[in-house]
Structure 1
Amino acid sequence: MNRTLKQHLQYVSQSVLYWSIAMVLYAIFRFYGIEEEEGLTIIKKHEGALGVLYYSIKFINIGLLIGILYTAVDFIFDTISNKVSLTNDLIFRTFFHFLVTLIVFTNIKDIYAGIATMEIEKINDWWLLDKSFWTLLLYLTIASLVFSFLKIANEKFGKGVFIKMLLGKYRNPQEEKRIFMFLDLKDSTTIAEKLGHFKYSQLIQDCFYDLNKVVPRHNAEIYQYVGDEVVLSWPYKKGLADNNCVNLFFAFQQRKQNKSAYYLKKYGVVPEFKAGLHGGKLMVTEVGIIKKEIAYHGDVINTSARIQGQCNTYKVPLLISEKVIQDLKISANLTCQFLGSVLLKGKQQEVNIHTIARV
């Protein structure tokens, strides 16, 4: 199965689960919290736990619909979110969420009529007059903001890291085994002088946008952006699986080549990147008070950066430590070449380095 499709299906399942739970909670609130109000009378066909179960099942169906349709809206806006401001994105996204909600409840009026006294099937603009609908809409809006917050936090800290932070896993340093890639723009100083700082900044923005398009397909996590450099990482096994840590680099190269006409027309250059890969055990912990971040400490980070710094010396775009090479399964479309041993800055022992090329 295509990795992009897997990512989409995973997001759909998360959205459906979230909205199903949200609508079950709403059903419980309505069942226990409200006996009667203006324009609304709860018709309790069942009492106690059976009643809660009855209405929860009804609202799970609504949650499934909302989860799927909201996800479709989010996919559309995710494709254009880099082209609009965050404020406009939230405004238009919220507006289309409202339209989706209206369509859902207009087309399942039989379910909605089961908890409302209004004869909504006879009123085309029922939603303008129904106070209970606006109450539900407010609940959905708040729930949507919570879901968006969780999504943004998950993207900020990396997949699964935010939940671990909430649980306090990284308050004390933890040992992990990971692979790191330092990815840096080649000839950045020359390009910056040629383009000027404004155009150069746009170039970096475009490059990182293209990088973000291939990152999810290879299960990578973006640890840091530092100027024109990006630091990516993988849990060790995920980085080795399907040669993710290597194939990401070639996928990024291919995407830039496919857009070479765009880069040449706008910037007069097709940007090239160089990368260094190394892996092993290191410590991860939560740092900061005013601005909290997850930080990695250990020799793996420093060695990865130093290996990337040797790319110009050996005139190759990709260098990998022997430690990672030994654990990789080199496929038929890749060729590996040993380049030698090098004493990296700050190291007391030489490190064997290799380069990999795609056939």
Structure 2
Amino acid sequence: MNEQQRKLNQIFKQLGQSIVFWTFAMTLFAIFRYYGLGEEEGISTGPEHQGSRILPIFALFGFFIGIISALIEFLLDKYLSKRISIGLNLFISMLIYLIFIIILSTITIEISNTIYDLKIDNAVGWWRKDKTFWTVVVYINLAALVFSFIQIANDKFGKGVFVKMLFGKYKEPKEEKRIFMFLDLKSSTTIAEKLGHFKYSQLIQDCFYDLNEVVPEYDAEIYQYVGDEAVLSWPYQKGLSNNNCVRLFFTFRKKLFDKTDYYTNKYGISPEFKAGLHGGILMVAEVGVVKKEVAYHGDVINTSARIQAECNAHKVPILISEKLLKDLDRDDFFSTRHLGDVLLKGKKKEVKIHTVEMT
């Protein structure tokens, strides 16, 4: 699967999630708003408020909102989210939602009038004094906040981890088999001295923004950022699948190379990163009360970090343990070279390490 296909799969996945969420949300609104309304004493409703008609209308409206929502999020993420705060991002989203809600409501009413032979008013400006419309607007904005909160939580804890935390999966330590990559900026001290702390922080922001564009394509999770270092993680089989854990590094490297002019013009350098990879069984647990997070404990993390530290000594951009390398699917994408056995800091037994090269 090439990079373009991966990006398309990611876009369609986000589109699908958005459509499912909004179709469900608007159907739920219709149930809360209209279910059993005609049976209440003293209340009379027209045929447009009958359940057999109102549910499909709102489900259709939710489907349209799902498509538009995915488009809005995609465009904001691509062109604005890097430059503005989360709060301003949400405010702009709400304004855009309002515009599209008016358009989509008018279209949905027209479709409903045609299919069900209803007489719902959708003349120009119909929405200004329509109480139901403004009720829907408030509900959609609240639902959008919930959707954004879920996305932010997923970004914070990693895909699927937030849901597991809600159900208390990590209240007690659990064993998991995972792959870890420690990704570090080369010559970071020299670069920091040259640029100064402000420019250097901007550089790290730009590099990690580019990294975040690559991460979803290879099913990776960002465990944490530590200064100029990013720690990435995969469930073991996801990291092995299509050699994701190796391909991500070379895709990120190529992305930085393709933006050489940008980085050179802005910072006077072209950033390069080095990486260390290892995998195995370790413990995962929910830790802390304030600033709660999921933490991994075990030799796998320590060994990954130590392997990355050997990159400078061997003058290579990436190192991988032989244990992990044996489980990868050898294909035409890369070749490996054994660099020998090294006694990593804090270890009693030597570890066989290899470097990886694109072919």
Which of 17, 20, 24 is the matching residue for 1:21?
Answer: 24
Residues 31, 42 of structure 1: 8 Å contact kept: no
Which secondary structure does the structure 2 equivalent of 1:223 belong to? strand
Unaligned runs of 5+ in 1: none
Give the alignment's TM-score, normalised by structure 1.
0.93
What is the deviation of 1:333? 3.1
- C-alpha change, 1:86 and 1:52, in structure 2 (3 Å) is same
Match of 1:137 in 2: 137
Q: Secondary structure at the match of 2:170?
A: coil
CA contact (8 A) 2:57 2:108 kept: no
Quickly say closer, same or farther: Cα 1:192–1:59, change in 2 above 3 A.
Answer: same
Which aligned pairs between 1:195-234 and structure 2 lie closer than 5 A?
Answer: 195-234=195-234
User: Contact 1:170 / 1:285 at 8 angstroms: preserved in 2?
Assistant: yes
Match of residue 148 from structure 1: 148
Whole-Å separation in 1 of the counterparts to 2:203 and 2:148: 29
Instruction: Indicate the RMSD between aligned Cα atoms, in angstroms.
Output: 2.1
* Alpha-carbon distance in 2 for matches of 1:45, 1:264: 62
CA contact (8 A) 1:105 1:112 kept: no
Deviation at 1:135, TM superposition (A): 1.0
2 CA distance for matches of 1:53 and 1:153? Answer: 36
SS in 2 for 1:175: strand
Mapped partners of 1:87, 1:177: distance in 2? 37
Given that residues 219 and 239 in structure 2 are in contact (C-alpha distance below 8 angstroms), is that contact kept between their aligned partners in structure 1?
A: yes
The answer for the alignment partner of 1:55 in structure 2 is 54
Counterpart position of 2:337:
337
Q: Deviations over 1:24-74 (max 9, x none)?
A: 11111122364599xx9632579xxxx545432222111111111111111
1:128 deviation in Å?
0.7
Asked if residue 11 in structure 1 is aligned to residue 10 in structure 2, the reply is no
Partner secondary structure for residue 120 of structure 1: coil
Identify the residue that residue 121 of structure 2 maps to in structure 1: 120
Q: CA separation in 1, counterparts of 2:261 and 2:48?
A: 66
The AA in structure 1 aligned to 2:64 is L
On the 8 A contact 2:60/2:108 being kept in 1, the answer is no
Q: Which residue of 2 aligns with 1:71?
A: 70
What is the total number of aligned residue pairs between the two structures?
Answer: 351
Dislocated runs of 4+, deviation >6 Å: 112-115
Is residue 184–residue 230 contact of structure 2 (8 Å, CA) maintained in 1? Answer: yes
- Relative distance call for 1:307 and 1:210 in structure 2 (3 A) is same
1:209 deviation in Å? Answer: 0.8
The residue type paired with residue 322 of structure 2 is E
SS in 2 for 1:16: helix
Unaligned runs of 5+ in 2: none
Q: Equivalent residue for 1:263?
A: 263
CA distance in 2, matches of 1:105, 1:260: 46
CA contact (8 A) 1:70 1:100 kept: no
- Aligned amino acid, residue 214 of structure 1: V
**1:154 shift after superposition:** 1.0
Deviates more, 1:130-139 or 1:273-282: 130-139
User: Partner letter of residue 248 of structure 2?
Assistant: L
**Could you tell me how far apart the structure 2 residues matched to 1:254 and 1:226 are?**
23
Q: Name the SS of the counterpart of 1:233 in structure 2.
A: strand
For residue 254 of structure 2, what is the aligned residue in structure 1? 254
By how many angstroms is 1:237 displaced?
0.6
* Equivalence for 1:303: 303
In the alignment, the residues of structure 2 paired with residue 298 and residue 53 of structure 1 have an alpha-carbon distance, to the nearest angstrom, of 56
Alignment of 1:140-179 (within 5 A): 140-179=140-179
Whether the 8 Å contact between 2:109 and 2:120 is mirrored in structure 1 is no
Shift of 1:131: 1.1
